[in-house]
Amino acid sequence: MWSNCLLKTLSRRHSTSFRASDLAVHLTHTPKTMPHLDQSLIFGKNTTDHLFWVDWDFEKGWHTPQIVPFQPLVLDPCSSCFHYGTECLEGLKAYKTATGKTLLFRPDLNIQRLRKSARALALPDFDGAELLQCIRKLVDVDKKWVPDKKGYSMYIRPTMIGTHQQLGVTKPGSAKLFVVSALVGPYFPTGFNPVNLYCDETRIRAWPGGVGDKKIGGNYGPGIAYTAEINKLGYQQLLWLVKGNVTEVGTMNFFMLWKNKEGETELITPPLDGTILEGVTRDSILELTREWNEFKVTERAFSIHELTQAAEEGRIIEAFGAGTACIVCPVQKIFFKGVDYEIPMKLGKSGLLTKRLLDHILSIQYGEIEHPWSYKVDYN
């Protein structure tokens, strides 16, 4: 029932949108060998047997959607995605329940966000319900790649690129929407481990009026080199600021549980002001904690100086990042202006709330808790 409601929510009138009913499926004759489910799995390396793609151009609109054997893309060197950043992406996962069912976690939000990112790049729009049905079929075709071991999943990467063959900054006249998948293991293969954050006011990920709230490659590439530099210093992620205000941690949304100046226990996270990504896990955490109603939950701008003052006064209870890959990632230390601020870890490697959120969301994703956020893939 909920799946049908979700499709109605996603569906819009698009005279040129592709249709899942037109989907052509071409199965591989040379299936890949399945990797072992152990710590040797490298995130994103073990791709599945098939991929989905559909082309678009200004004259014909959307072409016939297809599921084809996994293969390289053939693109003109002048394609706009190579030169002007006309590309956007998403990330979601498929999970196998103890009863053998395959579930997606809140895929409607990922598809809505992909459309939002595409519009910002002048890439073509489409009917979200149709893409979800195509993804459902792709996952079903490659269902043997959805592992039946908890902690493991199929990572799904929808991507849209401009394929306009012209050296010149212009609205793309052609595009390709494709979806690739990979078998992935736990984000923390050796256990739930906290990270150290490095905060530098001179480095900015996004800015007001920019595209920090869109999931595009331009928000990720520029941070790679600097992240590699701080890794050598013993810090795993950057805590990004905008005009002194905390925004994101690495590629994750940031949360902090503290005692505010009024003495209230409060979970605080930066607001959706256009500089941070509207994370699916972020939204899930906010909905869950507000439903629990055990402490104050706030979305507001707060500065790095508020954070460091709270650390000095012993008011921080715990802090963590949140995202699809890890769900939640505990923070144990934040470096700012020559000082390492220690963050409490009540459970040794995380705080109580961080671990509780991880366990609860995992239980929903693996079908141990029935929840409307779960979308059934299986056709029978």
Are 214 and 350 contained in the same domain? yes
* Domain annotation covers residue 316: yes
In a domain, 216, yes or no: yes
Question: Which residue, 160, 186, 212, sits at the end of a domain?
Answer: 186
Mean pLDDT value of segment 236-257: 97
pLDDT digits (tens, 9 = 90+) for 96-117: 999 999 999 999 999 999 999 9
Last residue of a domain, one of 133, 158, 186: 186
Task: Tell me the per-residue pLDDT of 142-158, one tens digit each, with 9 for 90 and over.
Answer: 999 999 999 999 999 99
Domain count of the fold of the chain:
2
Closest CA to 132 of 86, 183, 92, 85: 92
Measured at the CA of 357, the angle between CA 354 and CA 358, to 5 degrees, comes to 85
- What pLDDT, on a 0 to 100 scale, did the predictor assign at position 361? 98
The answer as to whether 338 is a domain residue is: yes
Hey, is 12 helix, strand or coil? coil
Residue 260 lies in a domain: yes
Query: What's the pLDDT score for residue 188?
Result: 75
What confidence score (pLDDT) does residue 8 get?
55
Q: Are residues 168 and 231 in the same domain?
A: no
* Domain of 176, in residue numbers: 2-186
CATH, residue 44: 3.30.470.10
370 assigned to some structural domain: no
Question: Is 155 in the same domain as 248?
Answer: no
The predicted pLDDT at position 363 comes to: 98
Lowest mean pLDDT of 13-22, 73-82, 180-189, 297-306, name the range.
Answer: 13-22
pLDDT digits (tens, 9 = 90+) for 300-321: 999 999 999 999 999 999 999 9
**What confidence category does residue 14 fall into, taking pLDDT thresholds of 50, 70 and 90?**
very low
Query: What pLDDT does 190 receive?
Result: 66
Is-contact 377 136, C-beta < 8 A? yes
103 and 200 housed in the same domain: no
Full 3-state SS string of 207-276: CCCCCCCCCEHHHCHHHHHHHHHHHCCCCCEEEEEECCEEEEECCEEEEEEEECCCCCEEEEECCCCCCC
Mean pLDDT of 14-35: 92
Looking at 294-377, list the stretches that DSSP marks H as alpha helix, in order from N- to C-terminal side.
Answer: 304-312, 352-365
For residue 281, is it within any domain?
A: yes
- Would you state the pLDDT for residue 7? 55
pLDDT of residue 275 exceeding 70, the answer is yes
On whether both 161 and 237 belong to a single domain, the answer is no
Residues 236 and 350 placed together within one structural domain of the fold: yes
Is the pLDDT at 6 greater than 70? The verdict is no
Whole-model pTM? Answer: 0.94
pLDDT at 16: 78
Residue of 28, 7, 103 lying closest to 71 (CA atoms): 28
Angle at 83 between CA 82 and CA 89, to 5 degrees: 50
Look up the CATH number of the domain holding residue 349: 3.20.10.10
Please give the pLDDT value at position 1.
44
Q: Give a yes or no: residue 380 inside a domain.
A: no
179 and 238 in a single domain? The answer is: no
The dihedral built from the CA positions of residue 76, 80, 81 and 87, taken in this order, carries a sign that is negative
Claim to verify: residue 203 and residue 327 sit in the same structural domain = yes
Is residue 201 a part of any domain in this protein?
Answer: yes
pLDDT per residue over 185-232, tens digit each? 988 776 788 999 999 999 999 999 999 999 999 999 999 999 999 999
Query: How far is 186 from 20, CA to CA, in rounded Å?
Result: 32
Predicted local distance difference test score (pLDDT) of residue 138: 99
Least-confidence region, from 31-45, 82-96, 212-226? 31-45
CA pair distance 227, 213, nearest whole angstrom:
20
Mean pLDDT of 19-43: 94
Same domain assignment for residues 149 and 243? no
Same domain? For 219 and 137 the reply is: no
- What is the C-alpha to C-alpha distance for residues 85 and 335, in angstroms, rounded to an integer? 32
pLDDT > 90 in the chain, percent? 91
Give the residue from 154, 186, 218 where a domain finishes: 186
State the pLDDT confidence band at 3, using cuts at 50, 70 and 90.
low
Question: 150 and 210: one domain?
Answer: no
For the segment 171-195, the average pLDDT, to the nearest whole number, is 91
User: What value does the mean pLDDT of the chain take?
Assistant: 95
Are 207 and 181 within one domain? no
- Give me the mean pLDDT over the 55-59 stretch: 97
Contacts of 236 (CB under 8 A, 6+ apart): 195, 196, 197, 230, 250
